Amino acid sequence: MTSCISQEKIDGLKKLLGNARKVALAGHVHPDGDAIGCITAMGLYLKRELGKDVVCMFPDAIPENLEFVLNPSLRYLWGKSEDADLVILMDCNAFSRTDVLGEALAGSSATKVLIDHHLNPDTASFDLVFSTPDISSASELTFWILKAMGWDMRDNETGEALLTGMTTDTNNFANSVFPSTFTMASELIASGVDRDAVLQKIYFSYRENRVRVMGYMQNEGLVILPGGAAYMILTKDIQKRFDLREGETEGLVNVPLSIGEVRLSLLLKEDKDHFRVSLRSKKGTSAQKCAVKYFNGGGHENAAGGRLYPEKDLRGMSLEEYVKKALLESLK
């Protein structure tokens, strides 16, 4: 069990849950497999084993290939929040990461619990905190918390949600894998979770245009800078040309890291008034510091993200000039 889960904290969580009739679970903007997985798993446990009234809240829509994780026995809200006795924020380090939900959640009188694995948790805003960066995913952290709570592992729907979250956050065991991560996977598979079926749904169910846009960006859009940085800019035009939907370029930012000399990779995706930023790095180079310093963001040491607001951030530079400067300075 990871060191951020003490018996004292588990007892604390049991007590808070014992006092709550209704529990709200909330995750970050642009929800990924980990956020959807750990929230769904926690929701199922609270509803089925503890009989709680549960609501799962996300700021916005999820990628189509992850819709299979949503469980029909749970209630999900998109872009709006509901009052509850207890709020559990999962897979993000602060309420601000829940975008449109943030203000209502942070200001509510509910008791607040954090379950997360990002750097810099906003501990002051919570009554109870489970947080460590030394774990694969919030789904793995949730797995160990549920086990400590006495979860009945025969519930394979809960197990499938947790395996999905861990699998997507580790890029199918390619990064952020700890001994405990293999133990979790092993225990879930032994308890009956069908890993092949999970992989089929996550990685082998995309539309054709995903493969085509990935090829196009690698061929036409990839810029490699001397010194070991790479970037790609996915403009609105390209998104339109390939009819892209949410989540269809997931994983693209990782591709340049397969080149030996590339240590830092950036993907900019044009959104309404800003660019969504994804950063990945190899050991020894910090994607997180680059996200904090240049892109209004944060995340993990080697996988981070943020936003770039051209009007505010560029200060007279062109987009490409700014990106090059940010990357080259981050390599130092």
Which residue lies nearer to Mn ion by CB, 34 or 122? 34
Minimal distance, residue 137 CB to ligand 5GP, in Å = 9
Residue of 17, 101, 95 whose CA lies nearest to 57: 101
Which residue lies nearer to ligand 5GP by CB, 12 or 133? 133
Which residue lies nearer to Mn ion by CB, 184 or 262? 184
Which residue lies nearer to Mn ion by CB, 10 or 138? 138
The residue whose Cβ lies closest to Mn ion is 34
Minimal distance, residue 300 CB to ligand 5GP, in Å = 6
Binding stretches for ligand 5GP (CB under 6 A) = 28, 97, 278, 297-300, 303-307
- Is the separation of the CB atoms in 238 and 258 below 8 Å? no
Which residue lies nearer to Mn ion by CB, 71 or 137? 137
Minimal distance, residue 28 CB to Mn ion, in Å = 8
Sequence-distant (≥ 6) Cβ neighbours of residue 35 within 8 angstroms: 27, 28, 58, 90, 91, 92, 138, 165
Binding partner of residue 122 among Mn ion, ligand 5GP, none, CB cut-off 5 to 8 Å per kind: none
Residue with tokens 């951030």: 313
Which residue lies nearer to ligand 5GP by CB, 46 or 252? 252
Task: Show the beta-strand stretches assigned E in the chain.
Answer: 22-26, 53-58, 76-78, 86-90, 111-116, 128-131, 223-225, 229-234, 264-270, 275-281, 298-299, 303-308
Binding partner of residue 28 among ligand 5GP, Mn ion, none, CB cut-off 5 to 8 Å per kind: ligand 5GP
Minimal distance, residue 298 CB to ligand 5GP, in Å = 3
Interacting residues with Mn ion between 20 and 39 (CB under 5 A): 34
169 contacts Mn ion (rule: CB under 5 A): yes
Binding partner of residue 247 among ligand 5GP, Mn ion, none, CB cut-off 5 to 8 Å per kind: none
Minimal distance, residue 85 CB to ligand 5GP, in Å = 27
91 contacts Mn ion (rule: CB under 5 A): yes
Binding partner of residue 159 among Mn ion, ligand 5GP, none, CB cut-off 5 to 8 Å per kind: none
Cα(5)–Cα(146) distance, integer angstroms: 11
Which residue lies nearer to Mn ion by CB, 40 or 111? 40
Residue of 155, 157, 156, 113 whose CA lies nearest to 138: 113
* Tokens at 322, concatenated: 């700014």
Cα(282)–Cα(94) distance, integer angstroms: 26
- Is the separation of the CB atoms in 28 and 59 below 8 Å? yes
Cα(98)–Cα(121) distance, integer angstroms: 14
Minimal distance, residue 60 CB to ligand 5GP, in Å = 13
Q: In what order do the strands lie in the sheet with 275-281?
A: 223-225, 229-234, 264-270, 275-281, 303-308, 298-299
Cα(301)–Cα(304) distance, integer angstroms: 7
Binding partner of residue 303 among Mn ion, ligand 5GP, none, CB cut-off 5 to 8 Å per kind: ligand 5GP
Residue of 187, 151, 152, 190 whose CA lies nearest to 166: 187
User: Interface residues with Mn ion (CB under 5 A)?
Assistant: 34, 91, 137-138, 169
